[in-house]
Amino acid sequence: MRLVGIGDVEDFAQVARDFQAALGEPEQLRLAVDFAVKLIGGCDHAGVSMAHGRTIRTPASSDDVVRRGDALQYELDEGPCLDSTRRHETIISQDLGREERWPRWTPKAVAELGIQAMMSIWLYTTASSYGALNLYADRANAFEPHDCANAEAFATQISVALAARREIYQRSVAMESRTVIGQAEGILMERLGIDAEHAFAYLRRISQTEHCKLITICNEIVETRRLPPH
């Protein structure tokens, strides 16, 4: 069984570099579907399903086949990408014409889209679950064992890239929040003649009594330079 050849290693290395250089998550996902069609044998169309609570959507796809195929899964509440996301595993169907797991979705997908095989790989890290990488094939038995192995390795790259991007974003938001809170504390200290500890206690009290997020209270103070009611 072939896993990754010399050319594949170079391609996967380029994927890692391009993910790192991507300006944001939408661009990362666009790169992911483009590379999936290029790198994964048997894959004719690719997309990424992302879970947001109970909602699942497709923010990136290679073409209309993926968009329609995923939309049918969401509409009928059955299909490979839903099973992959919900069960946290790779789902493969090598011959959709003989598939019995999704009795409503499969006939429509085959008849309306012409797809004959599909593989959905769970996107996750040890800390987070994101969704699934969906690979559609126009012929049955399109995925060889090494294609499945490469697809799972590629899905890992996508997951790690998403995790890194979101961590950077969360740190940026946290730093911005700390800056705004500090500015609001400074205004309170100047206006009320109190120290930083009492200023923060004041902000927390207002947040609790007004049932409003602390950062929202601070943003309002910084933007308007007005203090909320005591």
pLDDT in tens, 82-98: 999 999 999 999 999 99
The fold adopted by the segment(s) 171-224 is: Arc Repressor Mutant, subunit A (1.10.10)
166 band by pLDDT with thresholds 50, 70 and 90: confident
Eight-state DSSP code of residue 112: I
pLDDT in tens, 112-136: 999 999 999 999 987 789 999 999 9
In the chain, residues under CATH classification 3.30.450.40 are: 6-165
In the chain, residues under CATH classification 1.10.10.10 are: 171-224
The fold adopted by the segment(s) 6-165 is: Beta-Lactamase (3.30.450)
In whole angstroms, what is the distance from residue 58 CA to residue 51 CA? 9
Token pair of 21 as six digits? 């250089």
SS3 call for 5: coil
How far are the Cα atoms of 20, 22, 115, 141 from residue 94, in angstroms, in the given order? 33, 33, 11, 5
Which residue, among 167, 169, 227, 176, has the nearest Cα to 203 in the 3D structure?
Answer: 227
pLDDT in tens, 106-115: 999 999 999 9
Has residue 182 got a pLDDT over 80? Answer: yes
Eight-state DSSP code of residue 217: H
Of 25-39, 79-93, 170-184, the range with the highest mean pLDDT is: 79-93
Name the E strands within the chain.
45-52, 55-61, 91-93, 117-124, 129-137
